[in-house]
Structure 1
């Protein structure tokens, strides 16, 4: 391809004309209805209101009356009552308690103050547009303030100084820091200023968007290739507070079924029932825990979704049943492309009932994917969502409880990699082009899948995994970071990608362990499994033309090390499952950057290669081949080495040693850590061992959450949350909440007390 040669940098763009930017001008008139301020501008119109004391929403349309409609991302948005509006000569003030939004009349701009301290401001020119209907918002920021979030973007943790664009794209080529557009589009950024506030900016616009922090050091220019300026500004005390405001708006990650956070094994593809059963038999032979095995596209009849190839999988009902008896769930892949075949019932029904995406002329769009020419459901229609969801009965009647959605950017095998942009979708009565709907396609498919499974499996938590999505996708699906490679750089990159997904509301996320494409190595598989064992989603997955990478493939020495960390995952399940419960309640992620826990420590701002698991565990994985030493930054306080129980003073860097069999794990002093006994899968009952990491100057605390692991009864109080407090004198106080009586056996061990001389 010429694009892979120097031809790609021909001097054809030298002297290219700059586009002309137009301002929306001044406020011409306003109407205050007691909750919402609306007004006309020199060009277009605007609205603005508080949804909470520290959350402001405003919208601007340079081309007409601005719509106040949200995308599917938003679940809770209501104008706040009790706000006062004061019009002055040059400004309009919206005041709620100590917070004040100030709208400058000429030219139009917005700033927010709290007790007269400036917390947020648009920059000049604040709102602009082009004649091809691109819209732009310019926001002031501190030049040195780190920027986090923005979804699963490649590169380092801090995105300040970058230009980040959002257009869901199927990228099989090796991802690097310049691979900006991947599978998820989450236009939410957190600007962190430790001296003031952490400002969340959610730009709820589904067109292709861009966050430019490269052109100006002190500005963020947010651009959309259509639609309106639809912006939420969240002013939190720190990153946690801001993220909680965002997930209150877009929803939290629901508590998944417990089996979905165990170890999952996959390949593109296990091509037959016999191969699936042999893989499971080897897990049992080597006594390696396993909760789930995946079926990629080769299980289908000619890649037709909702079918099984009877030659390859002749006894699929028996297979699923027998695996379930062994504690193993089966998750099949379901893509959106429906094969063009008039004798195929899904295609036939979809065509007859008008369920597929069409051009304005009424012609159904067909694009090439795995089955060949295929039609694509118009998931924007509620009746299509219901239809698609009901089709999953062919899986649920077999006992299947989880579905994997792939290719839902949507990916099409053509030059643009997706549908024609003039394909039209029916958003329940409103016609929108694919240019507007593209980034929403994946989340609407996830919604159809998740809610379909809920309807087919009453009072059962489904597992849904998606590659593509938009803001709010956490309500429906776990997210994996797509087609990575068996490269050390991709192991390293999976950390900031997962942390930024967490800071974008997606708590249930992970990367393919070992790398999907290319050939892994024994050392890379070990190091990746060490990290993967602590990421929320834990799956080993590889492509058809790569070497296999199941735990035993490279011999006994490698297998024993990989097995050690899969087993360790299960020992930490009580801690992780508790964090998942907290994620639903609070919106906070399982995987957190150090800056989230230590927002005033400047050493944490750029830390991309260490990670917190909850508030109490820190990992410092080895990310380079042949490396056995690395520098680790320990934030303030005292830390315990999980393996040696050695105490380490924080507030400094330390050089640590980690042989091939060791993942550096550190536990914060004062933690009471619940660890489970070894099991073969999550359906087996675990005993709990409470490890108390002794502190001589504060109480030691920990908690464990338990329920029936599968149903929604916990939302009616049928759960047990056990909190343990160990006082300095050794007295243990146990506090339980919830209606569930637990029968888990437990014991307590104290670490570090003897070293303290007590």
Structure 2
């Protein structure tokens, strides 16, 4: 690491976030956070006084106003604690059945931050015009759904919101009475005091108070106006404004989501009897160096979305809040879940997603915040990175070694040392004298580069990016609102662009242009259209800030404090950079921008990775859980650093990590500057050859990954699918997070994450209609028969073997010719692997387009469905048909792919040797071979039969039928 001054060295030595290991003391626990303490204390008082506890919030029926032509109503809410404080309630049902509940203080001393949803949502949701509210004396309710199965009820006193399905409670807001919106007040208000009498077993608890508010708010002002943590004091000029809310799922025993956190997918408990964690889950974007492999601590991103699941249904809630939030989870019974959400600021803005299936919930969330778009095809290849490739010669040398060893790679990355004094966009000419020539050398074989651009701007008179930002007055301000906030990061003394300020948007996008700008402002002339961007440190990470981030009383555009918008901050940086990279070309191309920090909606702008992990088996394992959890919350283009960012993994661990990475949506190897170089070509044999085979496997399956991303872009369903998503009624799979499915391909993978493993147990889920399934080993065609109740099978898993099964009933499309990079595969032929189920049927699909532009939005793509159906007693018909929009004309991409053919069809599980294999059109007999196996019909375990049809002479983009008799 090079630093510009001795003072910078000294500062970083003292302030770097956990330079050698995680310092848990750098980050708050709930007990060290005033508003979290207050929220938990509220819950403790409620639990201790369960018999007498009631919420002070109620709806004033006289203020109820029901919209005449929409499913919306508004009403006033009052609190018995503060009769003079007014709140407003707004409840609406969207066209797709999602229920939105908003509550805000009305006419208060100040305004609460209410813009979080506007950053997350893709548009204002459409309110249903068919659903009607019915008002009664005690509540207002609406019934809806295809079979009128859903009902939402808002009870007046106390205020309670309940979603029911078929009369069964699904989601309940304020059922425990923990709703508390701390109203704005003056510092002179007298703190409340209270006494509690009784409490012996069987005796009713009586609450007496000199001030009746004390039983609810507590006896003292706890961190209302300022708060100290370590050496930092957070001024709170607005006073207390936290929001507590209990959100319960009375008939759902499993909850998932609220990433990012390093723990299991099925969220462990934080309260109740024998909780797994004693602190709540925290959503507060933070640079947590070498994070723990099992912890509720906050990490780099925050998505306040939670799924709740049972064999009967899946529901979810999206709590649109941008401030620091703590979430307690408990299971009062095995089949129910209680949660309490405590946020530092903001309004109540909760979206209830009714499901009732996982796919319904994904679609409902995608309607709100958008689905992950179709990425550039090359972005799904292998990415090679480290901190740092130190020069243009280093990059060329690494590329040369990949080619010499016949190891595929698509992208080379540059970390912070490419930039002179860490002034992003400005090349260090000593080590990178010819950056554009270097980029063109990489591009010559279809590859791309990714270069880091962090959000901190070096406060220097010779850095035009900082100077322009300062002149535009688009930098975050200190707490007094004057001048520019100054903190320390890699570039030393730095300031941060305030992307909440609209004046920063066009300016930032202009920086990435590769041509001279008319306005004379800076542009990245030393770049090309094939250079994409990595946004790191965007929590924001600030070495000398509280909890390694920005002080909460810093000021953003509109006068909002950083505490109000912290969790959204990194998303805006990602958003604007994504727009900048896309629009630097004409016509625009799909950008690749990796982010470390994210929020709900970040999936629209690119990929994320799980941050600064360690080269340990535990971190390898938890990376899988984290990627699954991010996918559940919409952030599906995700991965963890192969090999771990820190440490020097032994060859066995590194090989296993490549197997994990090859089945992550985002596949990148990365390493800290203090680690040994560990590019795959440096490995000794047999490890080098094993990794080469793993990478070739990933490249052969790029059609599978691209098709899965296409499906997700339409439906919101994640690319990696946990068992509860695929088999929502199979209770044995609800907590499984060490194996998963890839899209709808039928591929089931269980990466090995322990040392010395030679075989592993894979759970085969039950079929939802009670029919035992059949699975095949992807590499050997060995048959594993399932069970109607689910079953564990043992799969060979020596170091060179990835436990990978294909479910019977699936057709997988691959490209088997090794290439140096994915763009070189564009015209390669396809292999179809047909894995028959016990009935002799299978299906699958394949999606293709040019992989770079947005032309697919005008119909320029190929989307085929392949279907295998039984033909006679032991035969099969395999056909291809178009899934695209009917009547598409002028499909230039399809015409450009006329020469691309299916070169092989492999049918596994056929009932016996065929007598004939022909094309239905013309009746031409095809060349084929058949191996009977020992379990030809898939009814018992053993080697499956294999029919190989060689070069059937059919194009990938046309209709055809192959008849096996």
Report what 2:299 is aligned to: 182
Secondary structure of the structure 2 residue equivalent to 1:31: strand
TM-score by length of 2: 0.75
1:297 equivalenced with 2:416 (yes/no): yes
| Alpha carbons of structure 1 residues 631 and 355: separation in structure 2 relative to 1, 3 Å | same
C-alpha distance after superposition, 1:528-558 (max 9, x if no partner) = 1012111100000000001112102231321
- State the 1:160 CA deviation: 4.3
Secondary structure of the structure 2 residue equivalent to 1:446: helix
1:171 equivalenced with 2:288 (yes/no): yes
Q: Residue 253 of structure 2 contacts residue 331 of structure 2 at CA under 8 Å; is this kept in 1?
A: no
| Alpha carbons of structure 1 residues 614 and 101: separation in structure 2 relative to 1, 3 Å | same
Q: Residue 108 of structure 1 contacts residue 126 of structure 1 at CA under 8 Å; is this kept in 2?
A: no
1:756 equivalenced with 2:804 (yes/no): no
1:201 equivalenced with 2:317 (yes/no): yes
Query: d(CA) in 2 for partners of 1:409 and 1:273?
Result: 30
Q: Residue 289 of structure 1 contacts residue 681 of structure 1 at CA under 8 Å; is this kept in 2?
A: yes
Select which of 575, 595, 605 maps to 1:476.
Answer: 605
1:448 equivalenced with 2:584 (yes/no): no
Report what 1:27 is aligned to: 59
Secondary structure of the structure 2 residue equivalent to 1:171: coil
Gaps in structure 1 of 5+ consecutive residues: none
Q: Residue 594 of structure 2 contacts residue 606 of structure 2 at CA under 8 Å; is this kept in 1?
A: yes
Report what 2:198 is aligned to: none
1:672 equivalenced with 2:811 (yes/no): yes
* Backbone CA RMSD of aligned residues: 2.4
C-alpha distance after superposition, 1:539-587 (max 9, x if no partner) = 0000000111210223132111111101100000011111111111111
Select which of 820, 823, 833 maps to 1:683.
Answer: 823
Secondary structure of the structure 1 residue equivalent to 2:560: strand
Report what 1:74 is aligned to: 121
Query: d(CA) in 2 for partners of 1:61 and 1:5?
Result: 35
Query: d(CA) in 1 for partners of 2:502 and 2:471?
Result: 17
Secondary structure of the structure 1 residue equivalent to 2:308: strand
1:456-495 paired onto structure 2 within 5 Å: 456-457=584-585, 458-495=587-624
- State the 1:239 CA deviation: 1.7
Query: d(CA) in 2 for partners of 1:52 and 1:83?
Result: 9
Query: d(CA) in 1 for partners of 2:91 and 2:858?
Result: 37
Give the total of aligned pairs: 751
Query: d(CA) in 2 for partners of 1:656 and 1:620?
Result: 10
Query: d(CA) in 2 for partners of 1:68 and 1:701?
Result: 47
| Alpha carbons of structure 1 residues 624 and 716: separation in structure 2 relative to 1, 3 Å | same
Gaps in structure 2 of 5+ consecutive residues: 1-17, 44-53, 80-86, 184-239, 271-279, 514-523, 767-772, 885-890, 911-931, 938-964
C-alpha distance after superposition, 1:127-185 (max 9, x if no partner) = 22346221111122248611111123211110141432100000113322225200010
Report what 1:639 is aligned to: 775
Select which of 386, 404, 410 maps to 2:534.
Answer: 404
Select which of 633, 637, 661 maps to 1:508.
Answer: 637
Select which of 684, 699, 702 maps to 2:844.
Answer: 702
- State the 1:433 CA deviation: 0.8
Query: d(CA) in 2 for partners of 1:287 and 1:235?
Result: 50
Q: Residue 834 of structure 2 contacts residue 908 of structure 2 at CA under 8 Å; is this kept in 1?
A: yes
Query: d(CA) in 2 for partners of 1:699 and 1:567?
Result: 29
| Alpha carbons of structure 1 residues 365 and 620: separation in structure 2 relative to 1, 3 Å | same
1:716 equivalenced with 2:875 (yes/no): no
Q: Residue 24 of structure 1 contacts residue 129 of structure 1 at CA under 8 Å; is this kept in 2?
A: no
Q: Residue 385 of structure 1 contacts residue 445 of structure 1 at CA under 8 Å; is this kept in 2?
A: no
Secondary structure of the structure 2 residue equivalent to 1:667: strand
Secondary structure of the structure 2 residue equivalent to 1:460: coil
1:386 equivalenced with 2:527 (yes/no): no
Secondary structure of the structure 2 residue equivalent to 1:499: helix
Q: Residue 670 of structure 1 contacts residue 695 of structure 1 at CA under 8 Å; is this kept in 2?
A: yes
Query: d(CA) in 1 for partners of 2:877 and 2:468?
Result: 67
C-alpha distance after superposition, 1:396-436 (max 9, x if no partner) = 8523341100000000002511112111111xxx3311001
- State the 1:348 CA deviation: 0.9
- State the 1:113 CA deviation: 2.6
Report what 1:661 is aligned to: 800
- State the 1:604 CA deviation: 0.7
| Alpha carbons of structure 1 residues 4 and 296: separation in structure 2 relative to 1, 3 Å | closer
Compare CA radii of gyration and give the structure with the larger one. Answer: 2
- State the 1:493 CA deviation: 0.5
1:53-72 paired onto structure 2 within 5 Å: 53-62=96-105, 64=107, 69=115, 70-72=117-119
1:564-643 paired onto structure 2 within 5 Å: 564-615=693-744, 616-636=746-766, 637-643=773-779
1:374 equivalenced with 2:410 (yes/no): no
- State the 1:63 CA deviation: 6.3
- State the 1:216 CA deviation: 5.5
Query: d(CA) in 2 for partners of 1:728 and 1:128?
Result: 62
Report what 1:137 is aligned to: 245
Q: Residue 190 of structure 1 contacts residue 201 of structure 1 at CA under 8 Å; is this kept in 2?
A: yes
Secondary structure of the structure 2 residue equivalent to 1:461: coil
